[in-house]
Structure 1
Amino acid sequence: KPVEKSLTDIANALQRSAQKMQARLSALPKPEYPSELPVSAKKDDIAAAIQQHQVVIVCGETGSGKTTQLPKICLELGRGVSGLIGHTQPRRIAARSVASRIAQELNSPLGQTVGYKVRFNDKLSESSYIKLMTDGILLAETQGDKFLNAYDTIIIDEAHERSLNIDFLLGYLKQLLPKRPDLKVIVTSATIDAERFSNHFVGAPIIEVSGRTYPVEVRYRPLGKSGFRAKEIAEAENAQFDLDDDTIFGIARKAKTEARWLEEDDEEEAIEEAILDAADDLLRQGDGDILVFLPGEREIRDTADHLRKYQGRSAKLKHIEVLPLFARLSIEDQQKIFKSHSARRIVLATNVAETSLTVPGIKYVIDAGLARMNRYSPRAKVEQLQIEKISQAAAKQRAGRCGRVSNGICVRLYSEEDFNSRPAFTEPEILRSSLASVILRMAALRLGDVTEFPFIEAPSSRLIADGYLLLQELGAVNEQRQIT
């Protein structure tokens, strides 16, 4: 009798599962695709590749629509029924905004058909098909769901960022796929090094999608050359009282920028002045908002204060709305960025706006050419968050943000020679991190031996040995390389 009861319970559970699957299949949304997005033209090719292969690489330029449309293509294929469509983003702000956008396109309240899960915030329901989350959340879920049975499809978005979390996930999925033949994986990237991802997954097909971009004029305006020239002084002297207040104010400020850079050599203040100078010029070019890229939250706050200080003294700046955009911004302040507005805006952003988020209405970009990067110092034996020059690829991504709605202008606050001397791509985080911290994180996540893990770019054996040596000195591992 106990055996019969067990068999009956199993049969009932299977029946309930089948009924639930049928109900989810019947309620599957019928997505539509915006014709203006380039990815819509490739919809059939992408769908065929997903059906025929376990892993597909989709590389698309800025504005292609891959982030919002790929989950909808998966829905149309019947994915999301036996498990969720997991869709990872590098940052919380992107996970929330992308979830909101896809829900809007599917005419569903956020949290029903489409939900999200980020640190300290979970908006999902049993009826959800698509789950947006940070890559860190999915990585943490591998601890309680080793085979990721909660998902039938995984989309790793913005893989070109090559953070540690992304590299860990790509390695973990490579090991998992033979054990989960039903699982589909889609890796998306900007048009950067797509072959590397394809090779990692043993020849996964690459589908390229063009970007929806207009021509962007790049202007180089290095610090110390803000545009203040003798010609402008002569014009001011000749015109004398015919100049309006804005022109007089602009010439005076350009002189101040030159003096500050030449006399004080204060780079931070010079950058703030150069941004003010460039913004003033761009506001004269015509309609459209300005996106300014800065290295971090502190620089954003300082520049915002600097802009607001001058707003009352310039008719051009007086009615401009200045908005910050960084990862730790409150949800309420984040939503201001995406709301419709009548006044012109200057949005001060970190690299969160480089690829993860699309700020609407941007026609001009001012790029300081800097970002905060985590880097390990072998001499000091510590990791430091320091300001560094961005790569050429990152600079191109930034410039592409202003070619979305019309022809754009990107002002780079550095020289063309400086740009040409920069590395082509951003160095993956694992190659600039302490291997000691990588080893500890892998141990905490139970990812196995660092020497055997299938990294896209494995760290050298010397760096691994140095990492273990440091951990031994700290008493974190024993001589057998086991965590103490």
Structure 2
Amino acid sequence: MLPSIAYDPALPICARREEIRRAIEQHPIVIVCGETGSGKTTQIPKILLEMGRGAAGLIGHTQPRRIAARSVAARIAEELKTELGQLVGYKVRFHDKVGVRTAIKLMTDGILLAETQGDPQLRAYGTLVIDEAHERSLNIDFLLGYLKQLAPRRPDLKVVITSATIDAEKFSRHFDGAPVIEVSGRLYPVEVRYRPVGGDAEDTTRDEEEQALADAVQELCREGPGDLLVFLPGEREIRDAAQVLRRLAPARPGEAREILPLYARLSAAEQDRVFRPGAARRVVLATNVAETSLTVPRIRYVVDTGQARVKRYSYRNKVEMLRVEDISQAAARQRAGRCGRLADGVCLRLYSEAEFAARPAYTDPELLRSSLAAVILRSLSLGLGKVEEFPFLDAPAPRAIADGYALLAELGAVDERNDLTGIGRELARLPLDPRIGRMLIAARDERCAEQML
């Protein structure tokens, strides 16, 4: 028996509930574009449950990151007044909290992709929600292509693709004219202020960057009550920033202030500290994991450094590298949207308005900045077929595909028919650039791993 399902009328998506319900009833695939704060991530599964979609097959709901899958599952379970692991469960790497009564299953997109190997038609699911499609990770692009192929063979399957900032028409064309429902987002206005570091970003010193961050936090703390969310490129920068703020931006007399980290590899206990605010004002230092599905409570102010750590294939060095890069305009808007949910918000950007205008509109898909050898390896290992025949949203160039196959052949990962070899299957299990992975395998075989490392 289903619990009583209630909706928060303050969430913009609730006003479009009937329209979304009708679209799902009438079409196999529906695209919902909802700005940050629209409620799409938590409310769409409830709409589907109310439609009876969880009875004949699971409502599968994918998230790009483990931390989001876990926190979204906890939030939906709380709203449905049910214990996590009962009606609402989640499955991520190393954790499976799905029970026999589960109707809504949160998971990472990588988990769903892996399940296609044992269940090619995804018969366990009656409905799939692919959230945060705008991130265009490799897993998301593989899933979207796979679902395009699967749809004609599973007419009973309903697919809802949700996103915040998305090229809606492009997605609609990919899915043969699927309907697009756009939902407004932010509940309160957000003021954006530009505070470029040292005037000319190319010539800034580390001291200037540290002082700019401290000044930004102090400026926002003077605005009034409310917590701060500071976006930084990675874990190392978060650790450094915590030290800088303790040194250069101490709490004012009588003010209790807490500095908390938030990144993907954080332990569950540390994550819970972020989602359970106490009496002190909190300064949450986060990577881009906090850009989308994760809603950190009580945030009224955002500091955006304008950077993220991005994996990109280097054609010069022939390996994938993690680099700190400027974020896109879409990502910057996502970050600004993290405040303004409870009251008027302020987003302070540590770069100029001209720099913002010069940035690309959207983040480029991971597929187009990855080693094609790694993409081919993943496609073959998942049984998704030849990359050149797969229906990607943005197909890689034929020359890049040929280069990818040539490298895999050189590494002994594919045979003359471009099928995976034993070495290729081993390489596919390693979350590394294929060249680095091949070195590790060879070092193991030659018993010189310690020397190689």
Residue 21 of structure 2 is matched in structure 1 by 47
Question: Aligned to 2:240, which of 296, 299, 302?
Answer: 302
Q: TM-score, normalised by structure 1?
A: 0.84
Q: 2-side partners of 1:316 and 1:138: how far apart?
A: 51
Identity rate of aligned residues, in percent?
A: 66
Q: Match of 1:42, SS?
A: helix
The residue number in structure 1 matching 2:284 is: 347
Contact 2:251 2:257 in 1 (8 A): no
Large movers: runs of 4+ above 4 Å: none
Among 279, 293, 296, the alignment partner of 2:217 is 279
- Aligned-partner SS, 1:323: strand
Deviations 1:387-408 (A, max 9, x none): 0000011111111111211211
> Cα–Cα, structure 1 residues 147 and 280, in superposed 2: closer, same or farther, change >3 Å?
same
Tell me the distance in 2 between the aligned counterparts of 1:361 and 1:71.
24
**Are 2:381 and 2:420, in contact at CA under 8 Å, matched by a contact in 1?**
no
Of 391, 399, 413, the match for 1:462: 399
SS at 1:281 equivalent: helix
What are structure 1's unaligned runs of at least 5 residues? 1-26, 227-257
Mapped partners of 1:319, 1:32: distance in 2: 36
RMSD: 1.7
Instruction: Answer yes or no: is 1:428 the counterpart of 2:365.
Output: yes
Q: How does 1:99-248 map to 2 (within 5 A)?
A: 99-225=73-199
**Distance in 2 of aligned mates of 1:456 and 1:145:** 23
Structure index of larger Rg: 1
Alignment check: 8 A CA contact 1:293 1:350 kept: yes
Counterpart in the other structure of 1:361: 298
Residue in 2 that maps onto 1:370? 307
Moved more, 409-418 or 105-114: 409-418
Q: Supply the distance in 2 between the matched residues of 1:271 and 1:352 (Cα, whole angstroms).
A: 22
Which whole-Å CA distance do the structure 2 matches of 1:225 and 1:213 have between them? Answer: 33
> For 2:49, what is the secondary structure of its paired residue?
helix
For 1:48 and 1:391, how far apart are their aligned partners in 2?
34
AA of the residue aligned to 1:306: V
CA contact (8 A) 2:89 2:104 kept: yes
1:294 & 1:308 partners in 2: Cα distance? 16
Shift, 1:418, TM fit: 1.1
Shift of 1:301: 1.1
Aligned length: 421
1:478 counterpart SS class: coil
Structure 2 CA distance, aligned partners of 1:47 and 1:358? 25
Q: TM-score w.r.t. structure 2 length?
A: 0.90
Query: In structure 2, how many angstroms separate the alpha carbons of the residues matched to 1:126 and 1:166?
Result: 27
Query: 1:9: which partner in 2?
Result: none
| CA apart distance, 1:213 | 2.8
Rounded Cα–Cα distance in structure 2 between residues aligned with 1:123 and 1:433: 32
Extract unaligned runs of 5+ from structure 2: 422-453
1:168-224 Cα distance to aligned partner (Å, 9 max, x none): 001111111111111100000114201111111101111111113322211111111
Q: How far apart in 2 are the matches of 1:314 and 1:181?
A: 59
1:242-285 Cα offsets, whole Å, 9 max, x none, are xxxxxxxxxxxxxxxx9xx97xx544x53332111111111111
1:399-414 aligned at under 5 Å gives the runs: 399-414=336-351
1:161 touches 1:428 (CA, 8 Å); kept in 2?
A: yes
1:369, 1:389 within 8 Å by CA — same for their partners in 2?
yes
CA distance in 2, matches of 1:213, 1:31: 22
Call closer, same or farther: CA 1:428–1:317 in 2, change over 3 Å.
farther
